[in-house]
A and B are shown apart, each in its own frame.
Chain A
Amino acid sequence: EAGVTQFPSHSVIEKGQTVTLRCDPISGHDNLYWYRRVMGKEIKFLLHFVKESKQDESGMPNNRFLAERTGGTYSTLKVQPAELEDSGVYFCASSQAAKMSGLGTDTQYFGPGTRLTVL
């Protein structure tokens, strides 16, 4: 079974440009998450999709960030226009459908991340 994949692995852009990150979750996983780690800081939640719907986007930094998950499969995260503080590693994770019992938390499986550098 293929794991979570992310593309590109690295991206270097100039301030003001646009970048689109892509995440392909594990097949059949309804939940898809985006996280970001800025250098020296902890990994932080950005948003959570359940299928194609945004369940929680409370971690999105501002309206320069746009996430989509058309058709409930892969997801894209677009940054437009990019700023210097957007540099960091962007992780994607996926998990199976949420259990109605609410017991525990589904394991999230992570991709290798996209390292974004804004110059």
Chain B
Amino acid sequence: AQSVTQLDSHVSVSEGTPVLLRCNYSSSYSPSLFWYVQHPNKGLQLLLKYTSAATLVKGINGFEAEFKKSETSFHLTKPSAHMSDAAEYFCVVSEAGNNRKLIWGLGTSLAVNP
């Protein structure tokens, strides 16, 4: 069965410094992996997705993630944090087959300090 572990429940960075949000997954199949973001009082927005093409995936707002099969990781990074990046981030794996249901991590709350 697939599962997702987000290694940090809270991350705090200073504006202008790099962001690293860690995610490990467990999957019996070649997974599809996603990062979603939820800003306060907003809906869930897709940041980026990996679907067995390039292992380095670029998303919106300067975020990117690298799929590392040997480490079963899909960490999210950004070179320089902005105040508007403060939000909750979710790492997600898609269950294989026609089902396509999404399996979610618990989320990481990112705080950006001035």
Size range of the interface on B? 20 to 34
Which residues of chain A from 39 to 68 have any CB-CB distance to chain B below 8 Å in the complex?
Answer: 41-45, 48, 55-56, 59
Listed A/B pairs (17) with beta-carbon separation below 8 Å = A4-B43, A41-B106, A42-B107, A43-B104, A44-B104, A45-B101, A48-B100, A48-B101, A56-B101, A93-B44, A98-B100, A102-B97, A105-B32, A108-B100, A109-B46, A110-B36, A112-B43
Interface residues of B (CB under 8 A from A): 4, 32, 36, 42-46, 49, 51-52, 90, 94, 97-107
Size range of the interface on A? 20 to 34
Q: A41-B106, A42-B106, A42-B107 are in contact. Are A106 and B44 (CB under 8 A)?
A: no
Produce 1/0 per residue, A77-119, CB < 8 A to B.
Answer: 0000000000000010101001000111111111111000000
A106 touches B52 (CB 8 A): no
How distant is B33 from chain A, measured CB to nearest CB, in Å? 9
B101 touches A59 (CB 8 A): yes
Q: Cβ of A35: which chain B residues have Cβ within 8 Å of it?
A: 102, 104
A110 touches B100 (CB 8 A): no
User: In the complex, A46→B83 CA distance in Å?
Assistant: 34
Partner of A103, one of B4, B49, B52, B100: B52
Q: Any chain B CB within 8 A of the CB of A74?
A: no
A106 touches B100 (CB 8 A): yes
Which residues of chain A from 13 to 55 have any CB-CB distance to chain B below 8 Å in the complex?
Answer: 31, 33, 35, 41-45, 48, 55
